[in-house]
Amino acid sequence: MEPLKSREQRLMDLLRAYEQDYGCSPSYEEMASAMGYRSKSPVQNLVKSLERKRYIKRQPNKARTIQILDCFDQKSCIPLWGTIAAGGIVDSFTDHPIESYAVSEALNKPGNYALRVIGDSMIDAHICNNDVVILGHNLEVNRLKPGTIVAAQVAGEGTTLKKFYQEGAYVRLEPANSSPEFKSMKRHASQVQIQGVLVFVHRECLH
Q: Which residues contact 41 (CB under 8 A, 6 or more apart)?
A: none
1, 41 contact by CB (below 8 A): no
Q: Which of 25, 121, 179, 186 is catalytic?
A: 121
Distance (Å, whole) CA 149 – CA 161:
7
Catalytic residue at 162? yes
Distance (Å, whole) CA 90 – CA 86:
9
Q: Which amino acid would we find at residue 12?
A: M
Q: Which amino acid would we find at residue 184?
A: S
Q: Tell me how far the alpha carbon of residue 24 is from its chain's centroid.
A: 11
133, 159 contact by CB (below 8 A): no
Q: Which of 162, 163, 186, 190 is catalytic?
A: 162
Catalytic residue at 179? no
To the nearest 5 percent, what fractions of the chain are helix, strand and coil?
25, 30, 45
Distance (Å, whole) CA 12 – CA 4:
9
Known catalytic residues?
A: 121, 162
